[in-house]
């Protein structure tokens, strides 16, 4: 797909680093940013989005599951669907994400490596979805968290090295390993480690040798500790769950900051689905939900205080509360935990690009970067809810909406 050169013009810009008010013109040639200025150059077609339009880099969701359909029983759906059915569901999820301005996603768990095929498909049809950075089936223990996705691996060094090499040979962008149990798998406990630190280090060493980052699913305190010690690149969720409930240990947060381990905080709920769920919950269930949210708030405030790099991964697909366009709601939520709106936007663009290994190409409006844009009405640095008022989305210079 090719497109003629044009200048995208608006009244404001957030370039991934800072907000600037005043006329802005971004010239796009061949799917990349060619020139940035205050006025469009002569002889270039102008796409004027209005004085109240703010141009941003396309958002980056650092934790997504396209294979999950955000239904009432996503595990049943993924287990029972045929490959063609799953692929069609994943295509719908990808379209929904890109229409919300999410132009890059890190898919941290699929079935049968389906996200790799979809990645290649969307590379040829960029308006149909975001760029996908796939992990393939997450590495997990036999019967462990999300075993049904096909990533069961014996807990020994040889098997884990083989699992990492297979994902590298297939073209995965990141290695996902289940350091702890999780909530979607019966018999799996978020508080319990699945692989100890020595085995996690085997995964990390082999992945790094092959040039791949490692994202570790880790809810429990012990698993977070093991993942940090093993040298993972990002910790997914980082819930700090202990035997007696939430336990956001300061020492672990200090270690994350010192070792430059990023956290992909899985935030954001669809407000309509959340309201519907609250209506049918018992008082006890509501109390339990409030306890979970209070624990998450304490953990995030601790991460902010200690200067840990945090990006937002929506965990889209795992429940009706998590449709594939939910990321902007997660960014609004992040601001409630201490980050300023500008810091949130940087976390969702420039910093997320660095976490995903696509810095320089994604996450900033700079010369030579991919022409992925989210255009909203109004100033999102003054009000992050402006992210929900989408005026335009472009992928590689092609208008999506």
Using DSSP's 3-state secondary structure scheme, residue 34 falls into strand
Answer whether 160's CB lies under 8 Å from 209's CB. Answer: no
Model confidence band, residue 291 (pLDDT cutoffs 50, 70, 90): confident
What are the CA-CA distances from residue 91 to residues 27, 88, 98 (Å)? 30, 5, 11
Which ranges in the chain are annotated with CATH 3.20.20.140?
Answer: 141-356
pLDDT tens profile 46-84: 999 999 999 999 999 999 999 999 999 999 999 999 999
Per residue in 171-211, pLDDT (tens digit) is: 999 999 999 999 999 999 999 999 999 999 999 999 999 99
Query: CA angle at residue 102 from 61 to 400, to 5 degrees?
Result: 160
Nearest to 327 by CA among 171, 100, 50: 100
Residue 108 CA, chain-centre distance (Å), reads: 9
pLDDT band at 242 (very low <50, low <70, confident <90, very high): confident
Mean pLDDT value of segment 293-316: 91
Topology adopted by domain 6-57+363-399: Urease, subunit C; domain 1 (2.30.40)
Distance, in Å, from the CA atom of 27 to the CA atom of 143, rounded to the nearest integer, reads 52
pLDDT tens figures, 99-121: 999 999 999 999 999 999 999 99
- pLDDT, tens digit, 9 for 90 and up, residues 126-158: 999 999 999 999 999 999 999 999 999 999 999
Task: Please choose, from the candidates 107, 199, 109, 121, the residue with its C-alpha nearest in 3D space to the C-alpha of residue 148.
Answer: 109
Rounded to whole angstroms, the Cα distance separating 281 from 295 reads: 20
For the chain, the farthest-separated pair of C-alpha atoms sits apart, in whole angstroms, at 66
CA angle 183, 351, 398 (to 5 degrees): 95
Residue ranges matching CATH 2.30.40.10 in the chain: 6-57+363-399
Q: How far apart are CA 106 and CA 132, in angstroms?
A: 6
Check pLDDT > 80 for residue 246: no
Q: Secondary structure of 131-196 in the HEC alphabet?
A: EEEECCCCEECCCCCCHHHCCECCCCHHHHHHHHHHHHHHCCCCEEEECECCCCCCCCCCCCECCC
Alpha-carbon gap, residue 120 to 337, rounded angstroms: 37
141-356: CATH number: 3.20.20.140
- Of the candidates 335, 341, 395, which has an alpha carbon nearest to the alpha carbon of residue 19? 341
The whole-model pTM stands at: 0.96
């Amino acid at each position: 797909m090719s497109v003629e050169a044009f200048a995208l013009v608006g009244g404001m810009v957030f370039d991934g680093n800072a907000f600037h008010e005043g006329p802005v013109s971004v010239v796009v040639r061949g799917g990349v940013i060619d020139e940035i200025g205050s006025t469009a150059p002569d002889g270039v077609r102008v796409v004027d989005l209005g004085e109240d339009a703010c141009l941003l880099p396309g958002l980056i969701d650092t934790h997504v599951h396209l294979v999950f359909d955000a239904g009432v029983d996503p595990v049943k759906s993924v287990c029972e669907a045929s490959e063609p059915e799953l692929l069609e569901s994943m295509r719908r999820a990808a379209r929904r994400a890109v229409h919300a301005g999410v132009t890059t996603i890190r898919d941290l768990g699929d079935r049968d490596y389906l996200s790799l095929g979809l990645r290649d498909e969307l590379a040829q049809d960029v308006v149909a979805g975001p760029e996908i950075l796939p992990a393939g089936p997450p590495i997990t223990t036999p019967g462990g968290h999300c075993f049904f996705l096909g990533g069961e691996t014996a807990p020994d060094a040889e098997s884990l090295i083989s699992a990492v090499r297979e994902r590298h040979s297939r073209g995965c962008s990141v290695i996902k390993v289940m350091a702890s149990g999780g909530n979607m798998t019966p018999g799996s406990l978020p508080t319990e480690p699945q692989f100890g630190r020595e085995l996690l280090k085997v995964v990390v060493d082999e992945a790094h040798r092959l040039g791949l980052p490692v994202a570790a699913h880790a809810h429990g305190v012990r698993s977070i500790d093991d993942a940090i010690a093993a040298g993972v690149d990002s910790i997914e969720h980082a819930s700090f769950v202990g035997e007696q409930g939430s336990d956001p240990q300061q020492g672990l947060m200090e270690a994350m900051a010192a070792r430059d381990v990023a956290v992909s905080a899985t935030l954001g709920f669809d407000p309509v689905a959340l309201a519907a769920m609250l209506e049918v919950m018992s008082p006890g269930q509501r109390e339990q939900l409030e306890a979970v949210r209070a624990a998450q708030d304490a953990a995030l405030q601790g991460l902010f205080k200690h200067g840990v790099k945090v990006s937002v991964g929506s965990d889209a697909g795992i429940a009706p509360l998590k449709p594939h366009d939910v990321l902007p709601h997660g960014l609004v939520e992040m601001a409630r935990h201490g980050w300023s709106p500008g810091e949130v936007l940087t976390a969702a663009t420039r910093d997320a690009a660095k976490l995903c290994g696509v810095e320089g190409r994604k996450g900033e409006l700079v010369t030579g970067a991919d022409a992925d844009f989210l255009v909203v009405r109004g100033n999102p640095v003054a009000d992050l809810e402006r992210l929900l008022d989408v005026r335009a989305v472009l992928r590689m210079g092609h208008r999506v909406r």
